């Protein structure tokens, strides 16, 4: 093979490689952008705190695998942003902290809060039955039978 043909073939292979790399980076960039969007769109909804946090952590792991990084402060913001209003009291308490709360500390607080909510719901029927029984009229038969 003549040197000029070899040079031309190398140039073609090099151009194909550069084009393929650019396409891969563009696709990877688009996928990474989509994953970031998905991460910021996660809402707790009907999930438990454990499921909600696991979904956030799994999405962060995908971003880490793509050689990008989600910092702890951003994870905290994402968790807080996706919570429903029933967690507002905990959010208020967290906002009074003089230092940013570590992600795991915040998760632990939410797990405890959720646990207390579950206990309250489980105890509610017992209290309702007790109040119902106490408020029912008591009929005393004072008549005498022979």
Quote the pLDDT of residue 77. 92
Cα-trace Rg, the chain: 30
Q: Which residues contact 68 (CB under 8 A, 6 or more apart)?
A: 32, 36
CB 78 within 8 A of CB 56: yes
pLDDT tens digits, residue range 89-145? 888 887 788 888 899 998 999 999 999 988 888 876 655 555 555 555 545 455 555
pTM confidence score? 0.67
Q: From the CB of residue 78, how many other CB atoms can be counted at a distance below 10 Å? A: 18
Confidence of residue 48 (pLDDT cuts 50, 70, 90): very high
Q: Give the CA angle between residues 41, 46, 51 to the nearest 5°.
A: 75
For the record, the structure tokens of 20 come out as: 């393929």
Quote the pLDDT of residue 38. 95
Arithmetic mean of pLDDT over the chain: 80
């Amino acid at each position: 093979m003549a040197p000029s043909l070899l040079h031309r073939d190398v140039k073609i292979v090099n151009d194909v490689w550069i084009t393929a790399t650019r396409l891969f980076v563009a696709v990877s960039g688009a996928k990474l952008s989509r994953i970031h969007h998905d991460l910021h769109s996660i809402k707790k909804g009907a999930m438990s705190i454990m499921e909600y946090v696991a979904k956030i952590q799994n999405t962060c792991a995908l971003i880490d695998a793509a050689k990008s990084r989600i910092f702890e402060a951003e994870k905290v913001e994402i968790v807080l942003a996706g919570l429903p209003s029933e967690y507002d009291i905990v959010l208020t308490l967290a906002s009074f902290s003089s230092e940013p709360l570590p992600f795991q500390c915040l998760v632990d607080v939410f797990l405890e809060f959720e646990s207390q909510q579950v206990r309250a719901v489980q105890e509610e029927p017992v209290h309702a039955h007790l109040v119902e029984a106490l408020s029912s009229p008591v009929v005393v038969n004072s008549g005498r039978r022979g």
